[in-house]
Amino acid sequence: MHISSSAREPKGVAASASEQRTVASPITLSERSSTGLALLRILVGYLWFQQLFWKLPPTFAGLYEYVVRESQHAILPGYGALLQHTFLAGCPSLSSPVGCTAFVPLAACVWTAELLVAISLLFGLFTRFGALLATVLAVQLYVGLAYTEWIWTYGMLVLLALVFVAVPAGRRLGVDLWLAPRLQAAGQRHRLARIVSWFV
């Protein structure tokens, strides 16, 4: 009686061979796709940059209305109260930031974070870091404003930021193209450089 070789193999060996045959090859983006993604990154960076001008320092007055709306319509329980005890602490009126004790310094932090996102995405400089920061800011907007506008507006902003977290889009038409190989080479000797290299 003839016994096939596959029948003689232990089940574990046969399973591992089967798994090896079904492993998908890694996906490689073409030059055209990488460039298209880089152009999309630049456009998103420009959108973040454009949003800096309606809430300019030193008063950040344009941001105040949005913080008030978020405190009243947040979809996450307790988030409105958090805003009232931080950004809106000491505010004598919800119509103006005049007299608020913490609004200006906290608004400055938000404005600076958005500026960093814009610089990071526009110039492809530590793009994944900028995308992570954009994700945090977009989630905050979604939590605070999703009920007041089309609910997908800020949801899509979150998803768009996550695309640039997943894919190193700054390695085309960006400073990360120059930084990445240098950080990876330094990562062979220094653990910190290896960690930092993930953000480009």
User: pLDDT digits over 64-110, tens only?
Assistant: 999 999 999 999 999 999 999 999 999 988 888 888 999 999 999 99
CA dist 197 and 200 (Å) reads 6
pLDDT at position 94 is 85
| pTM attached to this predicted model | 0.84
With b for 16 or more beta-carbon neighbours within 10 A and e for fewer, the 52-69 pattern comes to beebeeeebbebbebbbb
Is there a domain that residue 14 lies in?
A: no
In angstroms, the first-to-last Cα distance of the chain is 61
Is there a domain that residue 120 lies in?
A: yes
Number of domains comprising the chain: 1
- In this structure, of 95-99, 153-157, 166-170, 173-177, the range with the lowest mean pLDDT score is 95-99
pLDDT band at 21 (very low <50, low <70, confident <90, very high): low
- List the one residue out of 32, 38, 111, 100 whose CA is nearest residue 71: 100
pLDDT band at 63 (very low <50, low <70, confident <90, very high): very high
**3 state SS of 174:** coil
Which comes out higher in pLDDT, residue 196 or 9?
196
Is there a domain that residue 153 lies in?
A: yes
My answer on whether omega of the bond before 57 falls inside 30° of 0, hence cis, is no
> Residue 14: is its pLDDT beyond 60?
no
Amino acid at 86: T
> Residue 162: is its pLDDT beyond 90?
yes
Is there a domain that residue 7 lies in?
A: no
pLDDT band at 22 (very low <50, low <70, confident <90, very high): low
Q: What is the mean pLDDT of residues 135-163?
A: 92
**Structural domain for 116, as ranges:** 32-168
Is there a domain that residue 173 lies in?
A: no
CA dist 198 and 176 (Å) reads 11
Is there a domain that residue 1 lies in?
A: no
- In this structure, of 10-24, 105-119, 173-187, the range with the lowest mean pLDDT score is 10-24
